[in-house]
Amino acid sequence: MAVKKILIEPNKILRQVSQPVNEVNKEIQKLLDDMLETMYSANGIGLAAIQIGIPKNLIVIDLLTKEKKKDPMYFINPKIIKQSEKLSKYEEGCLSIPNLFAEVKRPSECEVQYLDYRGEKKILKAAGLLATCIQHEIDHLNGILFIDYLSKLKRDIILKKLSKQKIEQKRLVI
């Protein structure tokens, strides 16, 4: 496994629409392993392949609800087939928009169809944090970030803070 570099907004690649995976083979599994390692090392609970620059429909999630025990979930070609009308609100963050958070409303429940790590077809009913996380990650596959749901004013504030962070990070490197 290897830790990859996570792309930070603004970055055109993050706006790319990812493509379905045709075959779940060793190469795809290695990519999923690397994504998971990258996510854990960045203290995230979800990561889409496009966040490490790979436009494939791959997501990893681990809500880390089991105390200190890793419990990873892998989603290949995930597709939402049902969404509740009821919405819930969470304060969301994103590894591509580090250290900045905003409240986003999304359907509180969803049903997702996908292939698992072994390439087997699965359907999962998700609610609460998991439902939000899955929808956030599937958005990444369509080039959508959580800040797209905010008002222009709120989005601009976040983008401004983000560019400031980037400058500070660069200064540290020098």
Cβ-based nearer residue to Zn ion, 115 or 134 = 134
Q: What are the phi and psi torsion angles at 21 (to 5°)?
A: -90, 130
Cβ-based nearer residue to Zn ion, 24 or 134 = 134
- Residues near 162 by beta carbon (within 8 Å), at least 6 away in sequence: 8, 9, 10, 97, 98, 100
DSSP H stretches of helix in the chain: 26-41, 128-141, 152-173
Least separation in angstroms between CB 92 and Zn ion: 8
d(CA 135, CA 116): 17
Strand partners, 115: 76, 121
Q: What are the phi and psi torsion angles at 50 (to 5°)?
A: -60, -25
Least separation in angstroms between CB 121 and Zn ion: 25
Cβ-based nearer residue to Zn ion, 24 or 126 = 126
Cβ-based nearer residue to Zn ion, 8 or 76 = 8
Under the binding rule (CB under 5 A), the answer on residue 35 touching Zn ion is: no
Cite the active site residues.
137
Least separation in angstroms between CB 118 and Zn ion: 25
Query: Residue with the closest Cβ to Zn ion?
Result: 94
Binding mask 66-105 for Zn ion (x = CB under 5 A): ----------------------------x-----------
Q: Tokens for 28?
A: 């795809």
